[in-house]
Amino acid sequence: MKKYIITAYIITITALMSCSDTKTESMAWAGGQYTGEVVDGKPQGYGTWTNSQLTYKGEWKKGQRNGFGISTWKNGNVYRGEYKNDRICGQGILKYASGAVYKGEWKSDRKDGYGVLSDSTGIFTGIWEAGRIDYGTARYPKGVIYEGYFNTSRVADGVGCLTTPDGSVYDGHYQAGVRSGFGFAIEKTGPVKCGFWVKGKYQGEKILYSTDRVYGIDVSRFQHEHDKKRYAIHWGNLSITSLGTKSQKRIKGDNITCPVTFVYIKATEGKQLLNRYYAADIHAARRNGYVCGAYHFFTPADPIQQARFFCKSVKLRKGDLPPMLDIEPTEDQIVRMGGEKSMFQRILVWVRIVQRQYGVKPILYCGQLFLNRHYAKAPEELKKYDLWIARYGEYKPFYHLQYWQLAEDGVVKGIHGNVDINVFNGSHERFKEYVSQNGIK
């Protein structure tokens, strides 16, 4: 019995081999001339194919270019890389006759996926889609770097950030390569400019508030208790319905209803006062998808004890915002702390301890008046920390801000009474980057 099984097996293999014999032929194929390996009358294996536009040398499968190959066009362009189903697909390098080079991913004969294009205008690195770069980084001659969105001509269009070797930065909206819309500029000389640009010209610090800005709120015990009554925060149904009335604001449209993106919740004050609602609030806010942070209200008490109390009371997790220190001393409190120099040293003690605890740099919150009167005398170490400024009027920053508190009398659906309304200094894309880079790891 075994003898017949072995004989049948050998006959089957022989039959298959006879049907799949590989030959080398020259023949007309797909509008061109093919020379190479052939199986069942179709290119299979390695071969060369030429038509009026190009010459291809590489792998074939069932009559189509599949695998690694090299294509050389009559215009001088050369591609080396992967093919699939007769299309450029996978990893490959295209060298243009002009000297430009693209290295990266392809799909259906077009750049698609991660790739790098180098040409006479610069080096473009990022994500490509259907032949164009959508978002990425451009490194131009003389050290100019742009990161953001591009149009079909690889020109800045949409949200982006451009930096120059002298330290100048523009972070904002572009239209066809020109500053247009809201933006934030730091020049080598002169004050910070934050406001609107039209056709590349700065129009002033007149911010237009619309639903596409990144808004946040900060809450404490006062959003729960009023006139001896207690109120719950309905975290599943929050939306900003008013940006306050105590200062003028340019608002797009007759009414505004803005989503809440981030929330800072007061945790502690001084060396022993704990917000009784903190734990429940931050748990509910996280559960409902808000980006959360915790803050401490600074007092003249011992800064070491204050920092340790905050760290003991606050358990932050990955993806949370950096801790925030609320600095609102009266002039009498500054005197009690031993003057400006002593006050700033106390603040440094707090931020150093908290930074070691959580592994990220805390944010400093203060009012515009405090900044104007005292901040110039702060030590350089402290000036490296990001700022959050409360200024209820037109935005006139002379400092690099991460957040700006634009109203203390905002209205938020789901919260009883007035609420502090804050805006992040940047787009939604920048906010995601900020949380990723500066938030809790």
Considering only CA atoms, which of 178, 170, 440 is closest in space to residue 323? 440
Q: Which long-range contacts (CB under 8 A, 24 or more apart) does 101-109 make?
A: 104/128, 106/81, 106/82
CA dist 34 and 27 (Å) reads 5
Q: Is residue 25 very low, low, confident or very high in pLDDT (cuts 50, 70, 90)?
A: very high
Whole-model pTM: value is: 0.59
User: What radius of gyration do the chain's Cα atoms show?
Assistant: 32
- Tokens 């295209």 appear where? 94
Which range has the worst mean pLDDT, 195-209, 246-260, 408-422? 246-260
Dihedral angle over CA of 133, 135, 140, 146, nearest 10: 160
Q: At a CB cut-off of 8 Å and minimum separation 6, what does 78 contact?
A: 70, 71, 72, 94, 95
Helices (H), 288-325: 303-313
Note the pLDDT of residue 207.
55
Collapsed DSSP state (helix, strand, coil) of residue 154: coil
- The residue that leads in pLDDT, 171 or 55, is 55
21-203 maps to which CATH number? 2.60.450
Angle at 45 between CA 42 and CA 48, to 5 degrees: 80
Q: How many Cα atoms occupy the beta-carbon half-sphere of 311 within 13 Å?
A: 18
Position 85: which residue type?
N
User: Taking 70 as the threshold, does the pLDDT of residue 208 lie above it?
Assistant: no
Considering only CA atoms, which of 344, 396, 336 is closest in space to residue 206? 396
CA dist 60 and 48 (Å) reads 9
CA dist 215 and 207 (Å) reads 14
Helices (H), 76-127: none
Note the pLDDT of residue 394.
46
Count of H helices and E strands in the chain?
A: 8, 31
Question: Mind listing the pLDDT tens digit for each residue in 101-142?
Answer: 999 999 999 999 999 999 999 999 999 999 999 999 999 999
CA dist 264 and 425 (Å) reads 16
Q: Is residue 367 very low, low, confident or very high in pLDDT (cuts 50, 70, 90)?
A: confident
CA distances from 225 to 221, 233, 241 (A): 6, 11, 21
CA dist 288 and 415 (Å) reads 15
Read off the DSSP letter of residue 41. T
User: Taking 70 as the threshold, does the pLDDT of residue 251 lie above it?
Assistant: no
Note the pLDDT of residue 77.
98
User: Taking 50 as the threshold, does the pLDDT of residue 21 lie above it?
Assistant: yes
User: Taking 90 as the threshold, does the pLDDT of residue 253 lie above it?
Assistant: no
Where is mean pLDDT largest: 14-23, 398-407, 417-426? 417-426
- The residue that leads in pLDDT, 431 or 271, is 271
Considering only CA atoms, which of 394, 402, 420, 395 is closest in space to residue 240? 420
Read off the DSSP letter of residue 140. -
Residues in a beta bridge with 59: 46
Q: Which long-range contacts (CB under 8 A, 24 or more apart) does 80-87 make?
A: 81/106, 82/106, 83/58, 83/59
Note the pLDDT of residue 293.
97
Q: Which two tokens stand for residue 267?
A: 């945790």
Read off the DSSP letter of residue 223. G
User: Taking 90 as the threshold, does the pLDDT of residue 19 lie above it?
Assistant: no
Note the pLDDT of residue 403.
61
Domains of the chain by residue range: 21-203, 208-438
Note the pLDDT of residue 406.
61
Q: Is residue 427 very low, low, confident or very high in pLDDT (cuts 50, 70, 90)?
A: confident
- Sign of the dihedral defined by the CA atoms of residues 346, 351, 352, 357, in that order: positive
Of 3.90.1150.200, 3.40.50.1260, 3.40.630.10, 3.20.20.80, the CATH number of 208-438 is 3.20.20.80
Which range has the worst mean pLDDT, 89-103, 269-283, 347-361, 368-382? 368-382
Mean pLDDT of the chain: 87
- Tokens 């009690």 appear where? 336
- Sign of the dihedral defined by the CA atoms of residues 363, 368, 374, 375, in that order: positive
Collapsed DSSP state (helix, strand, coil) of residue 415: coil
Q: Is residue 163 very low, low, confident or very high in pLDDT (cuts 50, 70, 90)?
A: very high
Average pLDDT for residues 404-425, to the nearest whole number?
84
Which range has the worst mean pLDDT, 27-41, 74-88, 196-210, 352-366? 196-210
Helices (H), 359-413: 368-374, 380-383
Considering only CA atoms, which of 114, 57, 60 is closest in space to residue 90? 114
